[in-house]
Amino acid sequence: MNEASRRHHNPPQSVSVSAAENLSPAFPQRAAWGTAGHLRAWQAEALNLYLDSTPRDFLAVATPGAGKTTFALRIATELKSRGFVSEITVVCPTEHLKYQWAEAAARVGLQLDPDFSNAQAGLGSSFNGVCLTYAQVARAPMFHRHRSSAKAALVILDEVHHGGDNLSWGDAIRIAFDPAKHRLSLTGTPFRSDTASIPFVQYEPDGDGVFRSRSDYSYGYADALRDGVVRPVMFMSYSGQMRWKTKHGDVVSATLGEPLTKDMTAQAWRTALDPSGEWIQQVLAAADERLTIVRQSVPDAGGLVIATDHKTARAYAQILASISGQQPAVILSDDPTASDRIAEFSNGTSRWMVAVRMVSEGVDVPRLCVGVYATSTATPLFFAQAIGRFVRARKRGETASVFLPSVENLLGLAGELEAQRDHALQRPESEEGWDDAALEQAQREERASDDLEGVGFQALSADATFDRVVYDGSDFGMWAEVGSDEEADFLGIPGLLEPEEVTELLRSRQASQAKQGKADPASKPMLDSRKRRQKRQELSKLVSAYSSKTGRPHALIHTDLRKACGGPEVARASLEQVEARIIKLQNWFVGRK
């Protein structure tokens, strides 16, 4: 039995509003600078809003690291001390989070049983409530319906968007908790791009008649960044030349980040992530160098590599061990000690942790400052959850750095980190963006591709090249060799900086690179990455249409455009160079040369 379990078998303290008032605004680690010892402004405002009417349903949307757990437990203690509820039920996505919630609740005198099972006849007298997973509820919804109707219950639905994961989960949650007296729904990633409704969430029509989710209180990443509650995130993007052999024996090469077909992009991406290739080894080395820099000002700073599967996770751990001289913690979902290993890493000072999905959502390891996004999962929801592991600020000025491959949709998600999205029950035809369901279907199709997964596919070589830094929706820096002084300028940015200081330093590095002739002199000191990505997507669609019209392969059309307009390949081209190629191709469509 782990420490959390032992604590919860002791007699409970009395529930204490006073203890809840003094719980760190960002439990389990100390709050950001200037906020310790009292509720953050958003928590106090949301609490007052809730207590004004004590509604049956309340949806709070707050960015990861903002302190949703503290807010929810304060509401729980208030309702229980006033006699409004007699039992608390917390529902969360993972087993690990059950113990995390139970530990936090114990600090305010609420004893929640994280080991409660569907086979139990009832709750032990030493407990004030239970912690469950969504999957556990889905296995016995009528059992939990009986429990929630037997007593005046507050149900806390943590990361409630999981209620829309599939029909069985959504239906089960509705059945189980429809009788509950109060339901408090929490989420740090409010949007899902599919149209499955989320239980107990209100939907209202927008100006286009599309029904979108309505939160009762919202506190986004941009708000938290302004208040110093979360860290600013720099995305270190790496491109490079990939070579692989298809099932049919054809040797293919492509530059990661070039406009490619869906399957070509997937294969180039897979080649980059191959543990035997140089790309991932060079990127892990750069990330370890960045971690060393950050630890000069944040001594306990840690790093996390998010891998695609167990095999690559173990391989990445061995690479990191040879680079850093220290064996990383490897967190795998089939390891029964995974939760204890996460807690051990969180409370220690070791450098690296490698995980597949165990640390993708809700798990708090506040000392994580450097990340490597080495997974092929590319939905907006997963990306936001993964990046949420790095944003929790413990003191003012901490920054986060996430290394990722130069894949167009990932760069788009990185550039839109501050975007606020609501869940829509239908999608207007004009709405663009990365659709979770469509991407998941596309990934299933890619995994079924003969060339991608068929016997005979072989990654041959993968070299990394520093591409750019994406920060606050803008691009900084242009291509540089791995190990060069230009790359070192960006890796060496201090780990303690205010957001505006990050921007100032990135601009300075960009200007220095351009002055030395390392960047295209025609490029602006700071590129509008959103517009550049839009233009690259526009060019890609035009090339595809022209290929259908002429029968010429995409690659040859890009080569013709480079010859006609000058400049490097698309992945390295400036905004102006991409726009020039669009104009040239439009002329070709109408017969002008």
Q: What is the mean pLDDT of each run of 10 residues along the chain (593 residues)?
A: 42 56 56 50 93 95 87 94 94 88 91 93 88 93 93 92 70 93 86 64 73 84 82 92 84 84 86 94 96 95 93 95 94 78 90 79 79 88 83 86 92 74 43 37 35 65 91 82 87 88 87 66 43 76 84 82 84 80 87 77
For residue 355, the surrounding DSSP H or E stretch is: strand 352-355
Q: Which tokens in the block code for residue 225?
A: 């960044």
- Residue-level pLDDT at 179: 95
Q: Which two tokens stand for residue 207?
A: 């100006």
Q: Give, as one character, the DSSP assignment of residue 212.
A: E
Q: Whose CA is closest to 176, among 158, 192, 153?
A: 153
Element containing residue 401 per DSSP (H, E): strand 400-405
Q: At what angle do helices 141-150 and 167-177 cross, to 10 degrees?
A: 20
The answer to whether 502 touches 280, Cβ cutoff 8 Å, is no
pLDDT at 166: 56
Contact (CB, 8 A) for 40 and 67: yes
> Rounded to an integer, what distance in angstroms lies between the CA atom of residue 236 and that of residue 402?
6
Distances (CA, A) of 476 to 274, 450, 505, 525: 27, 38, 10, 8
Peptide bond into 380 cis (omega under 30): no
The pLDDT of residue 435 is 38
Strand-pair category, 233-245 with 458-462? antiparallel
Supply the pLDDT for residue 354: 95
Apex CA 56: angle with CA 40 and CA 28, to 5°?
A: 35
Q: According to the model, what pLDDT value does residue 18 have?
A: 60
Q: How many residues in the chain?
A: 593
Among 588, 568, 555, CA closest to 254: 555
pLDDT of residue 53: 93
Query: What whole-number percentage of the chain has pLDDT above 90?
Result: 36
36: closest CA among 67, 60, 69? Answer: 67
pLDDT of res. 170 = 81
Pairing status of strand 352-355 against strand 329-331: parallel
The predicted structure's pLDDT at residue 163: 75
Closest-CA residue to 340 (of 92, 27, 3): 3
Q: CA-CA distance, 349 to 301, in Å (whole number)?
A: 7
Q: Which residue has the tokens 């929640």?
A: 112
The pair phi, psi for residue 186, each rounded to 5°, is -125, 145
- DSSP collapsed to 3 states, 271-282: HHHCCCCHHHHH
Q: Minimal CA–CA distance to 44: which of 263, 279, 213, 227?
A: 227
* pLDDT at residue 419, as a whole number: 58
Return the beta strands (E) in 472-581 as ranges: 474-476, 480-481, 527-528
Query: Measured between alpha carbons, how far is 87 from 12 in angstroms, rounded to an integer?
Result: 13
Question: What's the count of helices (H) and strands (E) in the chain, helices before strands?
Answer: 22, 21
How far is it, in rounded angstroms, from Cα 528 to Cα 516?
22
What backbone phi and psi angles, to 5 degrees, belong to 203?
A: -120, 135
| Tokens encoding 182 | 């109060």
pLDDT at 373: 96
* Cα first-last separation, the chain: 75
Can you tell me the distance from the alpha carbon of 35 to that of 51, in angstroms, rounded to the nearest whole number? 22
DSSP sequence for 403-462: EEE--HHHHHHHHTTT-----BSS--TT--S--HHHHHHHHHHHHH-HHHHSTT-EEEEE
Would you give the distance in Å from CA 283 to the centre of its chain?
A: 19
Closest CA to 374 of 340, 328, 336: 328
Q: Which two tokens stand for residue 447?
A: 């995994």
Taking the model in full, what pTM does it have?
A: 0.70
Question: Which tokens is 279 given?
Answer: 């790309």
